[in-house]
Structures are given as C-alpha cells and as structure tokens.
A and B are shown apart, each in its own frame.
Chain A
C-alpha cells in the first residue's frame, strides 16, 4: 500500500468550532487537490487546546450530526484524523481524535495520558481514555495517539504489537526552552528524539502533527514530522508557522525494515507480560 499523507499544521480559534470546521474544510480540499488521501490534524483541532471551562461548550457527540460527520462526508472522499472534545453517552468529556472516512466516524482514540503538571491541567477538564486499539482502514492497520500518550512508551509498543504499520500522533505541543546551544527549541529537540525512537524501536511509520499559534501566551511550535521505520525523518513541517506537509507513505518500507530488523517478531510478549504481572503484583501488594 502506497499513499500520500498530508500533515495539516494549522492554527485554531479557541472554542470556535464553526471557524475551525471551515478551516478543516479548506485544508482537506487543498490537500486532496495535491493528491493526498489522508489528512491529519493536530490535537483538539476543532476546538483549540486551552479550553478550560469551554470544554463543555466545545464537546461533540460523535453519534450526532455535526462537524465530524460533515468532515467525514467531504466531497473529495479524503480520509482524515481530527482532534475534538468527545462527549460520551454517559456524559464524560474526552480529549479525543477521530478517524473519519466514507461519511462516517470509523475510529475514536481517547487520550489516555492527560498531562496535569507544569503548564498542563488536563485532568481537571477531561476523563482519561482506557483502551488502546488499532483501526483497520483502507490504508491498512493504523494506530492513533494524542500528544502525551507518546511520552509513555507502552502506547506505541501496544499499537505496534497489534499490527499497526503507521502510528499517527496529533499534538498540541507548547514551545519552551530558549537557553543554551543548538538552534532548536528545547521542546522541539525532545519531540524529534522521541519520534525517531518510537519509529525505529517499533519499526513503524510515525507521524506527528503539531499545531502552531498562541493561546493565552502559550506558543505551539509546529515542526510536524514523518519518520520512516528506520528512524529517518522524511518530512518536516515549518517551525512556528502554518504548513501543509506532504509525504509518500509506502508500507513496503515497513515490510523491508521488519525483514531486516525483526524486532517485533522477536519480542517476547509472554515474558514481558509475566514480568509486568509480577512487577504490578509486588508493587500493589507493597503499597
């Protein structure tokens, strides 16, 4: 399977779903015109990130008509990944991404790890996701994650062992770190290192789409990435500015990488599980 992916590194309007949906429409048309069949948007791309009490007003029920179904039914039949606040049937609010295609919401990933430290306060406003499943799409099996999820190595590991050929991460990564040597932001350097590690250790394509712009003085730095299964960066978004980044994804590269470096084949899942069970048992008995 070979296809063109577009990384929609956009700015958003905080709490303004209407304006953000229009922006998604424009980007999807633009990406489709350039031959992309999958467009990935950043974390909370329909609502903006620093919502606080706007979380409730920005929430969408995926079962109802609204921006998700509207985008899923786009004229160019382009698949897309969008970030939104999900209101569940039992009225919890999740920081989620939806994979949309052929007029429907085909998969939802609810952010599992909600950062609540430093500048982040997500647990106050969101419920945490508690499942991690891949999605079988027309491109093959894909995994979806949201920002902080990536910083927990188990997430990409679990997706790769369920057969994901590509992991797509939607981010709202604030820029910080302007001291010391190097010409990159501290946070950009960390993300790049992490992205290359995730791709190479799991022998998957790994895609990050970060947003840009300011919210209450926080700046999101962009710098979206496509990393191949060898850990090479094959596409990169501009830093600080909006960008629409295209990359060819060819899963034959995953096949070759896994044949040459069969890390996934050789992984001892049973051993990992046994040891994890023991560690968990000992830890919780002790506490």
Chain B
C-alpha cells in the first residue's frame, strides 16, 4: 500500500530518561502493594520483551525477574539465542519450556488450522506456562504489548495480551526502540525486523501491510492529538491507509475490554460497580 511520504507528522522524540523513571517506579510500586516481590515474563528475543525485562531488572534487581523462553519447534533459533544473550546481559533468572508438546497435543486433535489459529494456540500455550510460573514463583506476569499493538489489536486475546502489569502499553513501537537504545539493549535485537514468530518467516510489518514507523505517526495524531480522519488526510496520510487503520482500531476494541455483562440488577460488575483495582492498597 502506498502510504505517505516519510516525514509526515513525526512523533516528538521520547524523553527516555523520564519514561524509564516512571515505568520502573510503576513496576515496583504496583507489584509491592499487591503483595508480590517477583515478576515473570516471556522472553522472545524481540525488542518489546527485552525492554520490559530490562525495566524490571532495574526496578527490582535481576534476581527478582524471571524470563521464560518458550520456543515452539518451528521457532527461529536466532530468536532463542537473542533471548539467551539478553538474559545473560541482564543477569535475570531464566527458565525454558518447550511448548511444542502442549501446542502439538492440541493441534493433533484438530485438522487444518490456518496460521492465525495456530498462532493463537501458541500464544495461549505460552500464557498457560507464564501463569503457572506466576503461581509457582509467587510472581506477577508482566505484559509486553506496546501501544501500537494494543491499538491495532495485533495480539492474541488471553494469549500475549494477558498480564497483570504492562509497563510499556503507553509507548508506541517506535518509542520502544528509543527506550531500548537508552537501556543498552543489543543492537541486533533493536534492528531486526519485528516478528511474532508464530510461523516460519512471519513479519509483523509484512502481515500488517505497513511499517510501525508509518502507523505510529498516524496513531499518534489520531489518538494522542485527536486529529479527525479528514485532517489526517489533509496532512498527507493516504486516505485508504487512514481508513484501514481506524477500522482495525474499531474492530479490535473487544480485545481492550473485558467480557460484556448483561445488566439485570441495579448494581452490576463492569457497569456500575466501580472500584479501583488498587482497592485498599
């Protein structure tokens, strides 16, 4: 798709030092007041989980952070090597669970799953593993979905979108890259093409049909600055691109919400039973 010229509406640079200070305090405080000392997260060898692992190590000390490597038999060995290298660099605890038996056990019962369905099975198998570590280690699960993915719905409901705390959910992918550089994440991890690695050769940007740099500029103007679709086109964004991205946001709203509850009584959880999650903390 012909998108835009390169420099339409660049995001202002992230103040990484400030973002770091806030996110590490967020991890420490929200964790401790919920009565936990440890965190666990999936380490894929990609930039998002690398950044979250680095933030958690800074917030809590590396001994309080467990990175779980969860390869499937088709996963790229390169990704696994990158995840190992990152865990070494940070000095965090490391576990490895090959999810092939879990996923294949299910996949053997069903025929002809397309890539999306298979990808969802893998993402949910990893969720099962992480939440079991959560119980075993008395650790909260850290989420690694960035703002771009959350807004586009580019994630699996109850899979990689499941977490207790997400320190990077308000940072666009291009901002994650800036924060990664600030945190000395290995250049190899920062510069490799983003992939969910759910099937061989998968690339986020090829699958989405646009680059993160392009879509982040659009999302920033739409979501953060409140530009109307017409104004975005006037700025120079391609009309079809604008329509497609806004439609993705709309269609995936369900992934950003809990299940709908049918209201019957005067006071209903999710409608008008409004308590903060940090209730009493």
Chain A interface (Cβ within 8 Å of chain B)?
Answer: 13-16, 50-54, 175, 178-185, 213-217, 219, 240
CB <8 Å contact, A214 and B26: yes
Task: Of the listed stretches B17-25, B91-99, B201-209, name the one at the interface; the rest are far from the partner chain.
Answer: B17-25
Residues of B within 8 A of A (CB): 11-15, 17-19, 21-22, 25-26, 29-30, 33, 273-281
- Using CB atoms, name the residue of chain A closest to B29: A214
Q: A249 CA to B33 CA in the complex, in Å?
A: 37
Q: Do B278 and A216 have beta carbons less than 8 Å apart?
A: yes
**Identity of the chain A residue whose Cβ is nearest the Cβ of B274 in the assembled complex:** A52
Q: Is the beta-carbon distance between B22 and A54 smaller than 8 angstroms?
A: no
CB < 8 Å: which of B21, B273, B280 contacts A15? Answer: B280
Given contacts A217-B26, A219-B26, contact A178 B18 (CB under 8 A): yes
A252 to B11, CA, bound (A): 48
Task: Write out the residue numbers on chain B whose beta carbons fall within 8 Å of the beta carbon of A50.
Answer: 276, 278
CA distance A215 to B30 in the complex (A): 8
Question: Distance in Å from the Cβ of A283 to the closest Cβ of chain B?
Answer: 26
The complex places the Cα of A216 from the Cα of B21 at a distance, in Å, of 17
Smallest CB–CB gap between A140 and chain B, Å? Answer: 38
List of B residues within 8 angstroms of A14 by Cβ: 276, 278-281
Residues of B within 8 A of A54 (CB): 275-276, 279
Partner of A179, one of B13, B21, B274, B278: B13
The residue from B17, B21, B275 contacting A52, defined by CB atoms under 8 A apart: B275
Beyond A52-B276, A54-B276, A178-B22, 15 additional pairs, beta carbon < 8 A:
A14-B280, A14-B281, A16-B281, A52-B275, A53-B275, A54-B275, A54-B279, A178-B18, A184-B18, A214-B26, A215-B276, A216-B276, A219-B26, A240-B22, A240-B25
| Contacting pair B15 A180 (CB below 8 A) | yes
Task: Tell me, in angstroms, the Cα distance from A255 to B22 when the chains sit together.
Answer: 41
Q: From residue A235, how far is it (CB to closest CB) to chain B in Å?
A: 22
Q: List 8 A-B contacts (CB under 8 A).
A: A13-B280, A14-B278, A14-B279, A53-B274, A179-B12, A179-B15, A183-B18, A240-B21
A217-B14 CB under 8 A given contacts A53-B273, A175-B22: no
A219 touching B25, Cβ below 8 Å: yes
Question: How far apart sit A217 and B167, CA to CA, in the bound complex (Å)?
Answer: 9
Q: Which residues of B contact A182 (CB under 8 A)?
A: 15
Contact residues in B for A240 (Cβ distance below 8 Å): 21-22, 25
Lowest 4 A-B CB distances belong to which pairs?
A180-B12, A52-B274, A179-B12, A178-B19
Q: Which residue on A lies nearest to B19, using beta carbons?
A: A178
CB distance from B51 to the nearest CB of A (A): 14
Q: How far is the CA of A185 from the CA of B20 in the complex (A)?
A: 12
| Bound CA–CA A213/B28 (angstroms) | 10
Docked pose: A210 CA to B237 CA in angstroms: 41
Alpha-carbon distance between A52 and B30 when the two chains are bound, in angstroms: 18
Min C-beta distance of A9 to chain B, whole Å: 15
Contact indicator A214/B280 (Cβ below 8 Å): no
Q: Give A219's nearest chain B residue, CB to CB.
A: B22
Q: How far is the CA of A179 from the CA of B220 in the complex (A)?
A: 11
When chains A and B are docked, how far (Å) is the Cα of A231 from the Cα of B257?
Answer: 46
Q: Verify B14–A216 contact, CB threshold 8 A.
A: no
Select one of B15, B273, B277 contacting A183, CB under 8 A.
B15
